[in-house]
Structure 1
Amino acid sequence: MSDYAETTVRVRYAETDQMGVVYYGNYFTWFEIGRVEFCRRLGFEYKRMEIDDDSMLVVAKASCRYKNPARFDDLLTIRTRVSESKRRIISFEYEIVQQASGEVVATGETMHVICDRQGRPRSLPEKYRKYFPPGRA
């Protein structure tokens, strides 16, 4: 992946299941961590976009492909980038890599509709458009 931001997480014991591997739902939490940190690295806080500009990135679609198991205490790198940007839609791609082996643990994508607090679709405010140029990556 190119043009991505990286964030590191360590697998906590509570994130694993009875088989000793990460419970599948936790990958979506990690995608969110990657997305929030991606925005922070671009120069703005996700929270400020919601509070100051009445713009929420509502998840409309999410997918994850599991490739290799992650286990308790593994250090993982979450790689995040924008894969598509339109007037009211922003999509992100994710790749989670085990640091010790370099193996890809999972890949995923989320598609977000920009909405106001009442859940009505709206256009991305002008001041954020430079961070999410139109088109596909």
Structure 2
Amino acid sequence: MPPCPFRLTERIRWADVDLVGIMRFSAVTRFVEMAEQELMRDAGLPYRMLFDAPEIWMPRRHLSVDFLAPARIDDLLTLVTYVSRLGDTSVTFNVDLWHADGTLVAAATMVVVCVTVAEFTKRPVPPMVREALAPYVCSVEEARSAPSR
């Protein structure tokens, strides 16, 4: 079975909520970052390896989030992560945050751009990264219809 989409579970922590125990919008960035990092690790590209590669960096270019339902402290979320676009110089990651009851809490899209370290100019996504991420490429529809959200 192909890895797409990649799944990870995480609880909403005290630091993630406001005074009435509802997840703060800024907490979603923690979930998105965690989901991206764990997908990359699962693909055989742990960040430590990428950071040690002297010729490339992959900074964030864009992040957007649709907030669809509230989530509360101690709720268990499933982070469904996939690559919706593997471009020449960029990668688009999607992270859907699902509540255990099947409610889509938030849907995030993040674009990272591959750049040279020396000049911080765009460069092609290396073949090693492209090959490692290929199994995680799927559409939003495919990811959301996959069993075991």
Same fold? TM cut 0.5: yes
The answer to whether the 8 Å contact 1:67/1:104 transfers is yes
The answer to whether the 8 Å contact 2:5/2:138 transfers is no
1:111 aligns with: 111
2:145 aligns with: none
The answer to whether the 8 Å contact 1:88/1:122 transfers is yes
**1:1-137 paired onto structure 2 within 5 Å:** 3-99=4-100, 101-118=101-118, 119-133=120-134, 137=139
CA distance in 2, matches of 1:136, 1:10: 26
Return the structure number with greater strand share: 1
Equivalent position SS for 2:132 = coil
The answer to whether the 8 Å contact 2:39/2:81 transfers is yes
CA distance in 2, matches of 1:129, 1:80: 16
CA RMSD of aligned residues (A): 1.9
| Per-residue CA distance 1:66-120 (angstroms, 9 max, x = gap) | 1111111111111100000112110011100112x12111101001111133422
CA distance in 2, matches of 1:71, 1:55: 38
Return the structure number with greater helix share: 2
The gaps in structure 1 that reach 5 residues or longer are: none
Length-normalised TM-score, structure 1: 0.88
The gaps in structure 2 that reach 5 residues or longer are: 140-149
How many residue pairs are counted as aligned between the two chains?
134
CA distance in 2, matches of 1:96, 1:53: 33
Structure 1 segments of 4+ aligned residues over 6 angstroms from their partners: none
Length-normalised TM-score, structure 2: 0.81
CA distance in 1, matches of 2:116, 2:9: 31
Equivalent position SS for 1:29 = helix
